[in-house]
Every structure is written in structure tokens, then in C-alpha cells.
Amino acid sequence: MTMTTSLNLTRRITPVALAIGLAGCALDATNPGPIQSEFLETRAALTAVVNGAGRDLAEALNWVSYTGAAVSRELHPAGSTGSFGITPQQQAGKIMPDDDQTHWNLSQRARWTAEDGVARIKRILGTTANNNATLAQGLIWVGYANRMLGENFCDGVINGGPKTPPSVYYERAEAAFTEAITVATAAGNTNLATAATAGRASVRLNRGNTAGAASDAASVASTFAYRMPYYTTDLDQYNRIYWAGANQPYRAHTVWNTYFEAVRKTTRDPRIPFDSSATILVGDAAVGNLGRVRWYFQTKHSAQTSNINLSTGWEMRLIEAEVKLINNDIPGAMALINARRTSAAINVPAVTATTAEDAWLALKRERFIELWLEARRLGDLRRWAAANRPGTLGTFETMAGRDLCFSTPLSEIETNPNF
């Protein structure tokens, strides 16, 4: 089953405000302005509260996926450092504390609005919330918002509290996904229960609970997908990766000279599509001392409304494969990897491995390909580095000297007395 979240993406919640929309439809809404917090303390407002949390997560994911792709070499810069550009520091793989705090602010807001929305639902509905699909959806946004923070940010900070390891986000994510499974199951909503299970599988892998991760992953069908939608209502709701490189008017990034260009040209793997036949052959501005580089337009996100995967069944197969490698089951892991590669939908050559080094390298590369441009690569690289996993990456994949997480911005460091 493929599921794209059906959201009415309203404007964002703030501590005192939310723009309220209609339930159950993909509405391109105009922001009516702030709503006082007390007017949200009604059952009628709860769907809009949850949709607002989803809207905030969509915007945060938009920014993190784009900049994370540039830093982790999923894309290379091809243009100006102005609108939708990639700063010189980010081009060099550095995300500094004095960088624009947008990524941090949007990501923390997504977490806060989802958690606050869940608390509001429980307060208003009481025990009847225990089988309420709206609560399940809110908990799923809590889970994915915290997972995004855990996979992409260097430090854990919760609501002005002290600096902690980023594992605090994984703890919150797992708790939210676990509760979402219970609530969604009680509500009879299989799609939400499966989305929460898939999300929890990925979080458990990052937490080192390999048995739990494999168990969750095994219960999710390969055909399942849970995606974040984007809209044409306003610029903030466009898919940012698409818009920044679609030649209308920006050519700020390119697939040229990346690992993914080489794989696509060698295997024609349909999971990493790009167009190198455009009439305009170079980016929209010079890139350092390279000048204007070749512009190859990624087409995985092929429209303003292109969705970004949050969880898929094929990611679950790779979670199972990684757990098998941790348990030294090379044949089992390779069978899972090749099931995807040799499927009718993909149809690229199978990979072989007889050593742990070769098998881990195959697993790493398969995750790079499967999760390309989904804000997941930094988290993968950090997990493998922390556990000292084998599998030496090639020249175009290496992250030597590059950051593996977004630094906490100076705005947080200098204004949070508990940091």
C-alpha cells in the first residue's frame, strides 16, 4: 500500500496561534491570521491543530533535506548563494554555529507544535482520545519531527533546557511512535499504525535496539510508503529541492560530479533520476574557483508538489539487512538488498559480497540510493561512524572533513541560559 498523508496544510502553530483549516482534504488555504490559543480548546479545532503540526514538519523537512543534501554530497552546488543558494561554508561541508538558524528554528518548532498538539488533544478528549485517529496522527508527527532532529542535529535541546546528546530526540520519537501504534490500532486505522511502526523501526535502529528494529520492519510490507506532501499554495509549501534547481528561475544545485551521477550512468537505476539534456548546461552562477559547473537537474522531486518519503517498505528491508550484517549474516543481508535491485521496478545488476567489508559497503550504498534526497544520509553516516562499521566509501562518497550534523546556532547558545 502506498500512502501519502492527506493534510490540510494550514499555517503554523505558535505558542498562542494557529490558522484553522478544514478537515480531511488537501486544501490550498490562505492564512486567515492568528487565532488566540483559547479558541483552540475545542474538539472542532483538533484536526486543524494536528494539520498545523504536519505543516510545520513539512517546512522543516524541506529545509533540512535540501541543505543536508548539499553538505552530504547528495547534490553539489551549481549556483548563487542568495535565494535557494548553498553558502560557501555549506559547499565545503560545514554547518557552523553562526549559520542561518532557520533549520534549527523550523525543526524545533515542528517538534514543539506536534507535542503541544498531542497534549491539547489529550486534555480536551480525556480517555476518549485513546482510540482517536487524530491523536494517532499527532503522535506520528511527534515521532517524525523528533527523528529528523535526532538524525540531523548535533545537540539535544528541549524547550530551553540544557544541552544533551541528540539521542534524547530518538527517545521521544520512539515513545511517540509506540503510543501512536496503540492509538491507531484501537481506532482501526491500519495506515497510521503501519506508519508509526515503520517510523519506530528506523528509530530503534538508531538507538541500537536491533531486534526491535528488525521485528518492526518485518511487519511492514515492501509496497508501503508514507510521505510528506507539498503544495503550490505559497513558496513555503513548494518542494524546496525541486524549486531550487528547476530552472524557474533557479539552477542552484546539480547532480553532476556526485556519486549518484556515476551510479545512474552506469546502471540506469531509476531511484536516482536526473536530466542532463537541458538546453542550459551550466548552473546559474559561479561555484568558487570552479566557475559555472554542469547543471544536471534531479528529477526524483519533479514538481513543486513532489512528496518526500518519511518511511517506505523498502527502507524496512534495508533495516532488516543491516541487522543481519550486525549479526554476521552476509548471505541473508545480500538477499534482501538484491530483492530490491533485481525487482521488475528497478532491474539493476545484483551485488555480491563474501566479506563483511564488501557487504557493509553494499548496504551503505543501497541506503544512499534508496533514501536519496530524503534528509536521511547524515543520520546514517553518524550511526555507522559511531559503531565503527566496515565498508570504506569511495572518493565521491567520502565525508572526510565534512560535518555529519547541523550545529546548534548561536541564537540558541547565546540566549538559552541552560545550554
In order of 152, 292, 375, 412, the CA distances from 281 in angstroms are 32, 9, 27, 41
Measured from the Cβ of residue 229, the count of other Cβ atoms closer than 10 Å reads 18
**Mean pLDDT, the chain cut into blocks of 10 residues (419 residues total):** 47 35 39 60 90 97 96 92 82 84 96 97 96 98 98 97 98 98 98 98 98 98 98 93 90 94 96 88 85 93 97 98 98 98 97 97 98 98 97 91 94 94
- Give the pLDDT of residue 249: 84
DSSP symbols for 120-187: HHHHHHGGGGGG-HHHHHHHHHHHHHHHHHHHHBSSB--TT---B-THHHHHHHHHHHHHHHHHHHHT
- What is the model's pTM? 0.91
- Phi, psi (5° rounding) for residue 89? -65, -45
pLDDT of residue 85: 79
Q: Do 97 and 413 contact (CB within 8 A), yes or no?
A: yes
- In 244-329, which ranges are continuous DSSP H helix? 259-267, 313-326
User: In a 10 Å sphere around its CB, with 0-12 CB exposed, 13-18 middle and 19+ buried, how is residue 37 labelled?
Assistant: middle
What cell numbers appear for 114 in the block?
506536534
Write down the residue that cell numbers 548496504 correspond to. Answer: 363
Read off the C-alpha cell for 74.
547528495
Helix, strand, or coil (residue 294): strand
- Distance (Å, rounded) from C-alpha 25 to C-alpha 143? 23
Q: Where are the domains of the chain?
A: 2-77+86-231+391-415
Q: Which three cell numbers stand for residue 128?
A: 476518549
pLDDT at 93: 92
Quickly name the fold that domain 2-77+86-231+391-415 has: 1.25.40
Cα 200 to Cα 74, 114, 168, 180, 354: the distances in Å are: 25, 17, 14, 10, 31
The confidence score (pLDDT) of residue 12 equals 39
Sheet containing strand 308-312, edge to edge, reads 2-4, 225-228, 308-312
CA distance 116 to 42: 14
Report DSSP letters for 27-47, one per residue: --PPP-----GGGGSSGGGHH
What stretch of H or E contains 310? strand 308-312
**Spatial separation of the C-alpha atoms in residues 339 and 366, rounded to whole Å:** 12
pLDDT score at 278: 76
DSSP reduced 3-state for 17: strand
